[in-house]
């Protein structure tokens, strides 16, 4: 158990809002009845749901900057990455325990790799002992340059280098260079819904690291000696500029979450900066904190929420019993059809079920918060 730290409350609120969005989009009552903002874009494009993962990685980057532990014992970074990686793998491994087909990539796995890489890049580019604004600016320029190099390099690789037997610039789900690399190196350990490519694949992890580094640059600015209002305004302006860059780049290299394209990096990174700037102004500058408290609670135990959410969904799908018609039905399906379908039309019933999941999970985390339990990797 760790004691409750002193921290930027708006950052925890943004993390909590992001996690709340994740729970809602991942747990509808019926996948056939989901409002479009709660679905990923089919391929190219960006819906509100496509903002969840990059927002979280952006927050990881900000946290790297603001955490004293980043410049401390490097083993703590490695240990935390291993724990996050292990939790992701175990969540995928359970309950089938089949090593021959278990998915190796995944959300927590990508978070672990991005955190590990970004944290060590942050350490290696920092000037030891210098905490002036000039030093932070120089540090941010280095990290920003790496993020630019990663996204430009990824764009070149994906559009100029053909997969063996393919053509350069093929950005289809199975024909792109990243999909070929995943099939070659990971074989049958890919996303079960595709088996030929993975949305958290190897090559697309490099631009995801860039997303994390953009967050680190934002964190350096928030740690500067500028006034709080100036921090919020300039962060918002930078966010808008980044979104414009991403949108324009997307005309040539489409915004695509599954490929984590370079345009997607800058578009969503800018959106995350803009959203953080708004919450920072509202919560930390103006002091309007009461509305954000539930999201702060979610944000303080974000990894716990992710694991509990995945475990609950799997467990409720595994528990089966005979329904009134004699056919086997899962506990989740039974609850949805018996308790929520009678309440509203299919789309709203499905949404209510998703919100109910969030309420149950919030209840668990609320009790943990009241008892001062904050489980950290």
2 and 288 in contact (C-beta within 8 Å)? no
SS3 label, residue 90: helix
Tens digit of each residue's pLDDT (9 = 90 or more) over 24-72: 999 999 999 999 999 999 999 999 999 999 999 999 999 999 887 788 8
Instruction: Specify the pTM.
Output: 0.94
Mean confidence (pLDDT) of the chain: 93
Tens digit of each residue's pLDDT (9 = 90 or more) over 192-227: 888 889 999 999 999 999 999 999 999 999 999 999
ω into 95 cis (within 30 of 0): yes
Tens digit of each residue's pLDDT (9 = 90 or more) over 123-140: 999 987 668 999 999 999
CB atoms within 10 A of CB 37: 10
The Cα 89–Cα 42 span in angstroms is 26
3-state SS track over 107-137: HHHHHHHHHHHHHHHHHHHCCCCCCCHHHHH
The Cα 246–Cα 52 span in angstroms is 17
The Cα 362–Cα 343 span in angstroms is 22
The Cα 26–Cα 102 span in angstroms is 20
Residue 374 has pLDDT above 50, yes or no: yes
- Percent above pLDDT 90 for the chain: 80
80 and 377 in contact (C-beta within 8 Å)? yes
Closest CA to 175 of 167, 138, 33: 167
DSSP bridge pairs for 329: 321
> Of the ranges 188-197, 221-230, 241-250, which one carries the lowest mean pLDDT score?
188-197
**Phi, psi (deg, nearest 5) at residue 339:** -105, -30
The Cα 341–Cα 32 span in angstroms is 13
SS3 label, residue 164: coil
Whole-Å CA distances, 363 to 13, 351, 359, 368? 17, 19, 6, 9
What are the b/e assignments for 217-229, b being 16+ CB within 10 Å?
bbbbbbbbeeeee
Question: What is residue 174's DSSP assignment?
Answer: T
324 and 276 in contact (C-beta within 8 Å)? no
Tens digit of each residue's pLDDT (9 = 90 or more) over 321-347: 776 667 888 899 989 998 999 999 999
């Amino acid at each position: 158990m760790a004691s409750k730290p002193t921290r930027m409350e708006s950052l925890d609120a943004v993390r909590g809002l992001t996690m709340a969005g994740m729970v809602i989009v991942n747990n509808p009552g019926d996948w056939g009845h989901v409002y479009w903002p709660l679905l990923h874009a089919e391929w190219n494009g960006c819906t509100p749901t496509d903002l969840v993962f990059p927002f979280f990685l952006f927050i990881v980057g900000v946290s790297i900057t603001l955490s004293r532990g980043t410049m401390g014992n490097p083993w703590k970074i490695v240990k935390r990455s291993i724990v996050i990686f292990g939790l992701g793998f175990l969540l995928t491994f359970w309950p089938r325990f089949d090593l021959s087909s278990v998915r190796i990539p995944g959300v927590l796995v990508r978070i672990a790799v991005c955190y590990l890489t970004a944290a060590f890049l942050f350490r290696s580019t920092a000037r030891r002992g210098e905490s002036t604004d000039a030093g932070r600016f120089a540090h941010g320029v280095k990290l920003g340059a790496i993020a630019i190099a990663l996204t430009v390099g990824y764009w070149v690789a994906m559009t100029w280098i053909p997969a063996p037997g393919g053509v350069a610039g093929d950005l289809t789900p199975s024909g792109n260079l990243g999909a070929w690399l995943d099939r070659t190196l990971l074989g049958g350990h890919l996303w079960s819904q595709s088996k030929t490519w993975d949305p958290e694949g190897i090559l697309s992890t490099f631009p995801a690291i860039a997303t994390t580094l953009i967050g680190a640059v934002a964190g350096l600015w928030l740690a500067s000696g500028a006034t709080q209002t100036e921090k919020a305004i300039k962060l918002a302006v930078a966010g808008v500029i980044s979104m414009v860059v991403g949108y324009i780049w997307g005309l040539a290299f489409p915004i695509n979450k599954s490929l984590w394209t370079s345009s997607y990096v800058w578009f969503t990174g800018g959106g995350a900066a803009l959203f953080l700037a708004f919450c920072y102004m509202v919560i930390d500058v103006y002091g309007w904190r009461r509305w954000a408290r539930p999201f702060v609670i979610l944000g303080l135990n974000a990894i716990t929420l992710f694991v509990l959410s995945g475990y609950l969904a799997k467990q409720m799908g595994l528990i089966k019993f005979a329904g009134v018609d004699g056919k086997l039905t899962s506990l989740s399906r039974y609850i949805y059809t018996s308790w929520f379908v009678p309440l509203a039309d299919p789309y709203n019933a499905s949404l209510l079920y998703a919100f109910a999941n969030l309420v149950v999970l919030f209840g668990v985390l609320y009790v943990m918060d009241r008892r001062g339990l904050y489980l950290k990797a």
